[in-house]
Structure 1
Amino acid sequence: MTAPSQLLSPRIMTRFRPPRFGLDGSPIGELPGPDGDAIATATIDAAYQAGIRFFVTSPLYGRGQSERRFGTALARRPRGEFLVSTKVGRLADGSVDFSADGIKRSLVESSDRLELDVDLVFLDDPGEHTQQALDEAYPVLRELREQGAITAIGAAMDDWRLLDRFVRDTDLNAVLLAGQYSLLDRSAAPLLDRCQARGVAAIVSGVLTPQVLQTDRPEHATDAATILARRISAVCERYGVSLPQAALAFPGRHPAVTSVLIGAASQAEIRADAALVRQSVPAALWNDEELLRLLD
């Protein structure tokens, strides 16, 4: 699943490239009721059948339910065929612990729920605990990577500036950015430029926003995101491309972006997203002068 390591700079950086699309495990963890487990397994199976081989979960997703469900569904698959990641620092019970012992405990608990070895481990949105994450949590993960216990280290946040600090000051393999780089919001471009320079894989989530998925975008709308979505959609339609299709394809145009995460809680959602992914976007769309002005 991963490319060979190589020396990218005087600091040791691992070239880590997860698959182009991944399944975000948050909706999987939130599936309710007695049928939740069965629906989760069917959804993950549909994702696998659609070619998805990258699965992102967390102790927080359904208080551990997401990890358990991924472990159950993936147990029947050859382990060398897929990559699984989880997060540390925020535990299943909602507590926050970025201490060295807390990170070790979190990983043990996640591995027990998954019943799988974890490939990629993300520091989960440390926020006010950033210094502790840098001083205590990150060194633990770095040691585990050096021992071969995990393949890669990442940081996951919705604040691109804080992620930029981690890319600058540590030897991360990957970042997971929630929002802030999509057709409607490209504010995180400086972070992606740094990731490209440092050889850090950028994983993007949250590209199928409500404004992108909305089928009726009224002319009288006043919010900037809906107005921009309507204008970009009009350009896309001239090329036979839907706005969701373009939104899924857009992040990967930046060379640092290796993966886009898709959230789904049913087989139907996976199949719909897979159909969008399979449809090619004409190169002419990305060179359209009106679209370039809208994206500027």
Structure 2
Amino acid sequence: MPSPPLGRLALGAAGLGNLYAPMSDEQAYAVLEAAWDCGVRYFDTAPHYGLGLSERRLGVFLASKPRGEYVVSTKVGRLLVPDPGGAGRLDEENAFAVPADHRRVWDFSADGIRRSLEDSLTRLGLDAVDIVYLHDPELYDLEPALAEGVPAVVALRDEGLVRAVGVGSKCTKALAAAARTGLLDLVMVAGRFTLLEQPALDDVLPECRAHSVGVVAAAVFNSGLLATPSPSAQARYEYEAAPPEVLARAREIAAVCAEFGVELPTAALQYPLRDHSVRSVVVGAASPWEVRENSTRLQETVPGALWTALRERGLVRA
């Protein structure tokens, strides 16, 4: 079964799970409708995002769309277990503004992964998803997580329950090890192959090329630092306040982009797609305007001289 076509721009649905701040159902559906209207047909979610809220909202929206016209990926490795004692507080420890009425339990076993997928399908209201990623195996214990988890997701693919399988992480060691197995279709590289930093060039992308693994580039704005033409001191990096040296580098890159008449977010969106291994960029949005803006930016022309200048000035790697 071939891997599904993804499209250059995908919608990351962490925001639909109330990442950082509450979002109403109406706002969530407006974001999704804007993405659909812009031609986005790949939607990425996870149980982790808002303790299932992201999956539920995405499922409600997709119920009105023809199943053959979109691609959905979700993730496995964290089971959601009821935690009534947490209902009176928010899941702020994980940066989601939702009641902490469930807790996440790591489980990369074959049974745990199947249960996770079944639970996700229930929340999504779907009979099947197209892609399943092992989610953040390095945060559990990398070697046993891959040793158990990779064969488990491959079995799902071999049984025809999903069309493609992979690993999603911001850890290059985990991503390279996953690609090196030669068993996976995709890796989702979160924040490690962006205009700001490219550690994935060392081992992840070479392993993906060697083993014919496709790359999905996520967090291409590095948690928001590259999302505006002029990086703000209040911008996030790695979900926290940007360190001064990282902010300074982002501003240097923005200044070079401006010399060529290109805004920083436009360059940030297009940069990963210059590598032939990258099949899609996954970008979140908090409003329909952001979705439309990202779609427009991806269509803009970026002069090749910009990439050359950034490389010559040591701001991106060769």
Identify whether the pair has TM-score above 0.5, normalized to the shorter chain. yes
Using the TM superposition, give the Cα deviation of residue 213 of structure 1 relative to its aligned residue in structure 2, in angstroms.
3.3
Identify which of 67, 73, 76 aligns with 2:64: 76
Equivalent residues in 2 for 1:107-126, closer than 5 Å: 107-116=117-126, 117-126=128-137
Using the TM superposition, give the Cα deviation of residue 273 of structure 1 relative to its aligned residue in structure 2, in angstroms.
1.6
Q: Distance in 2 between matches of 1:144 and 1:258?
A: 22
* Bigger mean CA offset, 54-63 vs 261-270: 261-270
**Change beyond 3 A, Cα 1:132–1:283:** same
Which one-letter code corresponds to 2:111 in the other structure? D
Q: In the alignment, which residue of structure 1 is the partner of 2:238? A: none
Equivalent residues in 2 for 1:107-256, closer than 5 Å: 107-116=117-126, 117-127=128-138, 128-189=140-201, 190-209=203-222, 210-213=224-227, 215=230, 223-256=244-277
Q: In the alignment, which residue of structure 2 is the partner of 1:286? A: 307
Deviation track 1:212-246 (CA, whole Å, cap 9, x = no partner) reads 2352668xx98332222222222212221001100
Using the TM superposition, give the Cα deviation of residue 20 of structure 1 relative to its aligned residue in structure 2, in angstroms.
1.3
Cα RMSD of the aligned pairs, angstroms, is: 2.3
**Change beyond 3 A, Cα 1:216–1:154:** closer
Identify which of 38, 41, 44 aligns with 1:56: 44
Q: How many residues align?
A: 281
Relative to the length of structure 1, the TM-score reads: 0.87
Using the TM superposition, give the Cα deviation of residue 67 of structure 1 relative to its aligned residue in structure 2, in angstroms.
0.5
Runs of 4+ off more than 6 Å: none
- Please say if residues 168 and 187 of structure 2, whose CA atoms lie closer than 8 Å, have aligned partners that are also in contact: yes
Deviation track 1:124-152 (CA, whole Å, cap 9, x = no partner) reads 11224333333333222212211211100
The reply to whether residue 98 of structure 1 matches residue 108 of structure 2 is yes
- Please say if residues 235 and 290 of structure 1, whose CA atoms lie closer than 8 Å, have aligned partners that are also in contact: no
Using the TM superposition, give the Cα deviation of residue 290 of structure 1 relative to its aligned residue in structure 2, in angstroms.
6.1
Q: Distance in 2 between matches of 1:261 and 1:139?
A: 26
* Bigger mean CA offset, 174-183 vs 278-287: 278-287
Deviation track 1:169-205 (CA, whole Å, cap 9, x = no partner) reads 2411001111111111111112112112211111111
Give the 3-state SS of the residue equivalent to 1:188 in structure 2.
helix
The percentage of counterpart residues that share the same residue type is 39
Using the TM superposition, give the Cα deviation of residue 262 of structure 1 relative to its aligned residue in structure 2, in angstroms.
0.7
**Change beyond 3 A, Cα 1:121–1:77:** same
- Please say if residues 253 and 310 of structure 2, whose CA atoms lie closer than 8 Å, have aligned partners that are also in contact: no
The reply to whether residue 38 of structure 1 matches residue 26 of structure 2 is yes
Q: In the alignment, which residue of structure 2 is the partner of 1:12? A: none
* Bigger mean CA offset, 224-233 vs 108-117: 224-233
* Bigger mean CA offset, 129-138 vs 60-69: 129-138
Using the TM superposition, give the Cα deviation of residue 79 of structure 1 relative to its aligned residue in structure 2, in angstroms.
1.1
- Please say if residues 26 and 263 of structure 1, whose CA atoms lie closer than 8 Å, have aligned partners that are also in contact: yes
Using the TM superposition, give the Cα deviation of residue 119 of structure 1 relative to its aligned residue in structure 2, in angstroms.
0.4
Using the TM superposition, give the Cα deviation of residue 84 of structure 1 relative to its aligned residue in structure 2, in angstroms.
0.2
- Please say if residues 206 and 261 of structure 1, whose CA atoms lie closer than 8 Å, have aligned partners that are also in contact: yes
Give the 3-state SS of the residue equivalent to 2:132 in structure 1.
strand
Q: Distance in 2 between matches of 1:196 and 1:227?
A: 33
- Please say if residues 22 and 55 of structure 1, whose CA atoms lie closer than 8 Å, have aligned partners that are also in contact: yes
Which one-letter code corresponds to 2:227 in the other structure? L
Relative to the length of structure 2, the TM-score reads: 0.81
